[in-house]
Amino acid sequence: MTAPSRLSFDIREIPFSRRGAWFDVSPVVGLHTMREHLHLVSHQTGMHPIVRFEPDAEAPTLEASPACLRWRTPEGAVEAVFEDDSTLRMRGRGLAMTIADATSELTPFTGSYLFRDPVDGAAVLTSYETGRRYRVTVVAGEIAVTGAELLGAGARSILASGAEWEIAIEEYETARAPYSARRSFDDLVAEVEAEFDEYVERVAPWRSERSPAAAAASYVLWSATVSPKGFLERESIVMSKHWMDKVWSWDHCFNALALAPGLPREAVEQFRVVFDFQDPSGALPDSVTHSEVLYNFVKPPIHGWALRKLRASLGAPLTPSELVEIYDALAAWTRFWLDRRRVPGHPLAHYQHGNDSGWDNATTFDRDRVIEAPDLAAFLVVQLEALAGLAVEVARDQDAVGWRAEARSIRAALLELWDGESFVARAPESGRASTTTSLLNTLPIVASPELPDEINGLLAARIERHLTDFGPATELVDSPEYEADGYWRGPVWAPSTVLVEDGLRQAGETALADRISERFRRLCERSGFAENFDALTGAGLRDRAYTWTASCYLLLAREAEERAAAG
C-alpha cells in the first residue's frame, strides 16, 4: 500500500499546514474569498492573511503533499515544509519569490509593520490583526527588503532570489532567540512524512482499497489540529483552517469518534474540550477558538450519544477520575436543558433558535423559532440513559434512579409529538406544529431502542424518502422549500448522515443503513470533505476542508471495514 505521505491534494481545496500550527498556506483568505496567489494565513485572533507569495513566473504548477508544497516551473522551483508548529522553511532553486504584505496600507488597526532587525538582520513583520510577529531569516543566500520602517500606504515585501536560497518564516509573540537551522530541508520533509504516516497508521490501520480516501481524510484532521494556545488549553481540532476555524459544541464529538480506536487519549481530549468552557448553568458554549468564546447559542446535547459510541471503540478505558469528571460535566449539561430550557409544567425542553440545534435554518423552524423539537427530546433520552449508566459506575446509584425517571418522562412526551406519520415540533406557547419535510424531524431514530418498532419502521421509510445518490438530503428534494445550496434546507451533511445511519442500524434497518453509509463514503471519495454537498449533483459546497466531514468518512469507513472483516 502506498505510504500516506505520498498523497497529493489540491491546495485550493485543502490548506497546507501541520499538526499543531495556527497558520497555513492557502489561496483562501476569508469567508468564500480565494486569491490568485497563495498566502500565509494565521488563525490567531481570527482568520488573517499575513503575506502573499508571488513567484517570479507566470502560472507555476502547484503541487501539495502532507510534507511539502511546491511552486514548479520549467526553470526552477520553490518548496515549503513546516519545520514545527510555528516555523515554515522555504527554499528556491532557479525561481525567485516575493513575500509581500497581504495588505496595502498600515493603519493603527490593520496591516503589518515591516522592519529589519538589527540584532540578527532578519526581516520582521508585526501584524496588527493577529498581534504576532512574522520573522523571515536567511538560511542560505540573501534577501532584499522593500518598505522597511514605512508607515501608511506603500509596498512592503521581501524578495528571495538567486540560484539557490533558503529562508525560515516564524510566527511568534514578542521575542525569540535568533533563528538557527539545525536540520536540513530534506531531513525536515522526511520527518514530517514519517509523522504523518504514523498518524494515519494510528487513525486508519484498517484502510484498504475499499476506503481510498482514508489518507486524505486523515490529512484534513491532522492539518487542522492546533496546539494549546489562547483560550484553548488542549490540543484541538478546529473545523477547518479555512474560515470555519473554530470548535463548535457538537462538531467536536465526531472528531473524537474518528480518533477513538487509535488515538484514545487525543479522542478523550477532543470530547472534553468544550466542557472546559461550561458556564455555571451547565450550558456549553456555541463555539470556541483562539481568542473567542461565544455563548449566544448552544448546540444539541448529542454528547451522551457520542460518549456511548466513543467508549465502544476507545482504544484505552477511561480512568476512574475521567469517569467522574465526565459524569459531572455531562450531568450539568443535561440539567441545563431540564432546568433552564423547559416551560414550567412541560416535560420537553425547547430550542430558542435553529442555531441551538446545529441545523441553523432547517424548515422545521420556519413557522416558529422557539420549539419543543423531537430531535432534542430524543437526544436527551439517549443522554439520560447514558448518565444513568455512568452514575452506577461512579457509585451514584440514587442519581441513576432520577435520570431514568426523567428519561421515561421525556420518552412519553416525545411519543406525543408523533402525528401518525412523522414527528413534529411544537411551539411551547401556541402548540403550533412544525412542517415535517426536514430530515431533522426523523432524528428521533437515534433513540430507536426506546421507540416502538412501528414508529422505527415508519421513520426508516421517511428517511429513505430523503435518500439521494449521495446520501440523505436535509430537506425532501420535492419540497417547495428545497434549496440546492440552502445550508440545512437541502444539502447532504456528514453529522446528520452519521446520526441517522447509527439509529437505523440500532433499529435493525441494516440494509438502509448500509446504503446510506456506502453512498456517503463514495460521495467523499468523489467530492472531498466539504462542509456539505449538493444532494442531487454531489458537488462540494461552502468550506471545502471540513474536519467533521473527514471524521464521519473515517468513522463510517472503519465500521464498514469491521463489518466486512466479521463476514
pLDDT in tens, 338-388: 999 999 999 999 999 999 999 999 999 999 999 999 999 999 999 999 999
Are 63 and 80 in contact by the 8 Å Cβ rule? The answer is no
The identity of residue 227, as a single letter, is: S
The identity of residue 547, as a single letter, is: T
In the structure, what pLDDT confidence band is assigned to residue 567 with cuts at 50, 70 and 90? Answer: confident
| pLDDT at residue 145, as a whole number | 97
- Give the mean pLDDT of 409-421: 97
The identity of residue 565, as a single letter, is: A
What is the C-alpha separation between 492 and 531, in angstroms, rounded? 9
| pLDDT at residue 215, as a whole number | 98
Residue 501 has pLDDT above 80, yes or no: yes
What is the C-alpha separation between 555 and 526, in angstroms, rounded? 17
Handedness of CA 256, 260, 264, 266 (dihedral sign): negative
Contacts of 58 (CB under 8 A, 6+ apart): none
What is the C-alpha separation between 64 and 451, in angstroms, rounded? 49
| pLDDT at residue 179, as a whole number | 97
| pLDDT at residue 316, as a whole number | 87
Contacts of 97 (CB under 8 A, 6+ apart): 53, 54, 55, 56, 71, 78, 90, 159, 160, 161
What is the C-alpha separation between 6 and 139, in angstroms, rounded? 27
What is the C-alpha separation between 146 and 305, in angstroms, rounded? 56
Residue 1 has pLDDT above 80, yes or no: no
The C-alpha cell at 197 is 504516516
Q: Which contiguous run of DSSP H or E holds residue 127?
A: strand 123-127
- Give the mean pLDDT of 303-310: 98
| pLDDT at residue 262, as a whole number | 97
| pLDDT at residue 59, as a whole number | 87
Handedness of CA 259, 218, 306, 297 (dihedral sign): positive
| pLDDT at residue 378, as a whole number | 98
In order of 262, 281, 300, the CA distances from 323 in angstroms are 20, 21, 22
In order of 360, 380, 432, the CA distances from 373 in angstroms are 13, 11, 12
Give the chain's end-to-end CA distance (angstroms, integer): 23
Closest to 328 (Cα-Cα) out of 376, 278, 285, 253: 278
| pLDDT at residue 147, as a whole number | 96
Residue 211 has pLDDT above 80, yes or no: yes
- Give the mean pLDDT of 441-465: 98
HSE at residue 17, side-chain half, CA atoms within 13 A, is: 34
Whole-number CA gyration radius for the chain: 25
What is the C-alpha separation between 345 and 372, in angstroms, rounded? 13
- Give the mean pLDDT of 73-89: 97
In the structure, what pLDDT confidence band is assigned to residue 240 with cuts at 50, 70 and 90? Answer: very high
Write out pLDDT tens, residues 113-171: 999 999 999 999 999 999 999 999 999 999 999 999 999 999 999 999 989 999 999 99
In the structure, what pLDDT confidence band is assigned to residue 526 with cuts at 50, 70 and 90? Answer: very high
Instruction: Supply the DSSP symbol for 337.
Output: I
Helix (H, G, I), strand (E, B), or coil: what is residue 401? helix
HSE at residue 263, side-chain half, CA atoms within 13 A, is: 21
What is the C-alpha separation between 369 and 450, in angstroms, rounded? 27
Residue 102 has pLDDT above 90, yes or no: yes
What is the C-alpha separation between 287 and 303, in angstroms, rounded? 15
| pLDDT at residue 423, as a whole number | 98
What is the C-alpha separation between 560 and 364, in angstroms, rounded? 32
Cα–chain center distance at 122:
36
The C-alpha cell at 7 is 498523497
In order of 24, 124, 237, the CA distances from 19 in angstroms are 10, 24, 9
- Give the mean pLDDT of 172-199: 97
Q: Where are the beta strands (DSSP E) in 128-284?
A: 133-146, 157-172, 225-226, 236-237, 247-248
Residue 58 has pLDDT above 90, yes or no: no
In the structure, what pLDDT confidence band is assigned to residue 18 with cuts at 50, 70 and 90? Answer: very high
Q: What is the overall mean pLDDT for the chain?
A: 97
| pLDDT at residue 116, as a whole number | 97
510-527 and 547-566 helices cross at what angle (nearest 10)?
130
| pLDDT at residue 302, as a whole number | 98
Q: Which contiguous run of DSSP H or E holds residue 193?
A: helix 185-203
Phi/psi of residue 420, each to 5°?
Answer: 100, -25
What is the C-alpha separation between 334 and 283, in angstroms, rounded? 8
Residue 394 has pLDDT above 90, yes or no: yes
